[in-house]
Amino acid sequence: MLDQTPKELIKRDGLRINPLKTCQPVGALYAALGVKKCMPHSHGSQGCVSYHRTFLTRHFKEPAIASSSSFTEGASVFGGGANLRSSVKNIFDLYDPDIIAVHTTCLSETIGDDLNSYILEMEIPDDKLVVHCNTPSYVGSHIHGYANMVAGFIKYLADKNAPKNEKLGFFPGFVNPGDLREYKRLLELMGVEFIMLPDQTGVMDSPMTGVYEMFPKGGTTIEEIRALGGVKEALAMGDFASTEPALVLKSKCGVETKVLPLPFGVEGTDKFLMELSRISGNPVPKVLEEERGRLIDLMLDANPYFYAKRCSIFGDPDTVLGILSLALELGMKPIHLITGTPGELFERKAKEILAAYGLEGEGRVKSSGDLFELHQWIKNDGSDLLIGTSYGKQIAKAEDLPFVRAGFPVLDRYGHAYEPLLGYQGGLILAKRIADTIMDRMDRDVLDEDLEVVM
């Protein structure tokens, strides 16, 4: 399909080919689904929210609920205030959520709808809530939309006068429910009481019961979000997805916050657990030391297959940086690192990680890039392995590359949202995926007389 991609690199400032991101409302919708009995609401046309819901549903293989202001030509010209008022009334009457989380779209942003004024003026039932955030699709990426929606919940609901508690405010970053469950397990093993915002476990990985529930049991409660104003401190995971909510909480409620990278691999998980140990005053339990040892054992056992493999990694910025760290620990040589999310911070962080392994100035690193450019890099430099989202499969096919699916979205396989990539357990899963993929390719390509059963 992509066999005709040219090798010649041409600088492009105003054009993206095969984009490496999706738009802000997708992230906002996912964040809102992590709040209990919340209806995400897209202030725009029906077509927009249909796409956003479909995108999430294809990744999680779960229904992503959301409503829409259903703009027509009239709303596009005269504003969508009337549409939003009607929508809010109908949603509460028909679906009875506890809270509606409104996010904007390209259209409502372009015409300049003032959602804050609309919400202040509308009649909302006494026991119900409406919050909003601005998510123009032509700026940033789904990661920014996620951060903006989480920050929106804090702006509206976090109570600076909330009673002080000894809990940790925890912002997990843009990760799968499997990662959220791993976070919870680690926090509980370390004896840390916490409030996680958002929490999509039980919502986007709900079990099959035979009965459809529009609002599954999972999600952060409204009371917990209010209580964030009284936590003793907060921990934000991922510079891109969690820094903005953490800054808003600090500004509004005076809660001190620390930002850590997503805990991929040995070093990343070590840093995370040491921080939890500082917060709780508890040592790291034996069970986690044993998990760490098993991950290192796998790294050593499979080192001949990992060593010096030249890999290309793409996806969301926090995830790419995490996979980069694990790949370097495995002894691999990342040569291409690219994300579609804009921001120079990604390039600086990636180069710092590479420099720590003696690879300063090596490889190609770019933010606000696209898959066309990644494909061109691979055509020029070659690569032994491709790691990233489902959208890389066409490049892998065109260049006959081994391909490991990881991150968001994985649209063409099942179960990825259930498996963690974080922590020692997640590192074990991802390292095994990489090893299996490399060895499968060796089995495919080797001569019949050299095909080994024991590797």
Provide the CATH number for the domain around residue 70. Answer: 3.40.50.1980
**pLDDT value of residue 78:** 67
Q: Does the residue 289 lie in any domain? A: no
Domain co-membership, 57 together with 91? yes
**pLDDT value of residue 112:** 86
Domain co-membership, 49 together with 128? yes
Q: Does the residue 56 lie in any domain? A: yes
**pLDDT value of residue 81:** 84
Q: Does the residue 88 lie in any domain? A: yes
Domain co-membership, 103 together with 124? yes
Domain co-membership, 220 together with 251? yes
> Any idea how long the chain is?
455
Q: Does the residue 17 lie in any domain? A: no
Domain boundary among the residues 110, 130, 157 is at: 157
Domain co-membership, 191 together with 69? no
* Structural domain containing residue 231: 168-280
Q: Which two tokens stand for residue 65?
A: 């609920």
Closest-CA residue to 84 (of 97, 102, 107): 102
Q: Which two tokens stand for residue 103?
A: 């996010």
Q: Does the residue 4 lie in any domain? A: no
Domain boundary among the residues 124, 157, 190 is at: 157
Closest-CA residue to 80 (of 68, 94, 92, 91): 68
What is this structure's pTM? Answer: 0.96
DSSP-derived 3-state class of residue 317: helix
Domain co-membership, 101 together with 181? no
Domain co-membership, 87 together with 189? no
**pLDDT value of residue 177:** 98
Q: Does the residue 5 lie in any domain? A: no
Q: Does the residue 455 lie in any domain? A: no
**pLDDT value of residue 15:** 86
Domain co-membership, 303 together with 442? yes
Q: Which two tokens stand for residue 407?
A: 């991150």
Gap between the Cα atoms of 42 and 68, Å rounded: 5
Under 8 Å CB-to-CB from 435, ≥6 apart: which residues? 298, 302, 305, 306
Gap between the Cα atoms of 396 and 402, Å rounded: 7
Helices (H), 175-234: 177-189, 222-227
Q: Does the residue 382 lie in any domain? A: yes
* Residue linked to tokens 């032994």: 384
- Give me the number of domains the chain comprises: 3
Kind plus residue range of the DSSP H or E element containing 42: strand 38-43
Domain boundary among the residues 115, 137, 157 is at: 157
CA angle (234, 235, 236) in 5-degree steps = 120
Cis peptide before 6 (omega within 30 of 0): no
Under 8 Å CB-to-CB from 454, ≥6 apart: which residues? none
The letter for the amino acid at 263 is: P
Domain co-membership, 122 together with 236? no
**pLDDT value of residue 107:** 84
Domain co-membership, 143 together with 217? no
Domain co-membership, 353 together with 312? yes
Q: Which residues of the chain have pLDDT under 50?
A: none
Domain co-membership, 31 together with 102? yes
In this structure, the number of other CB atoms found within 10 A of the CB of residue 38 comes to 25
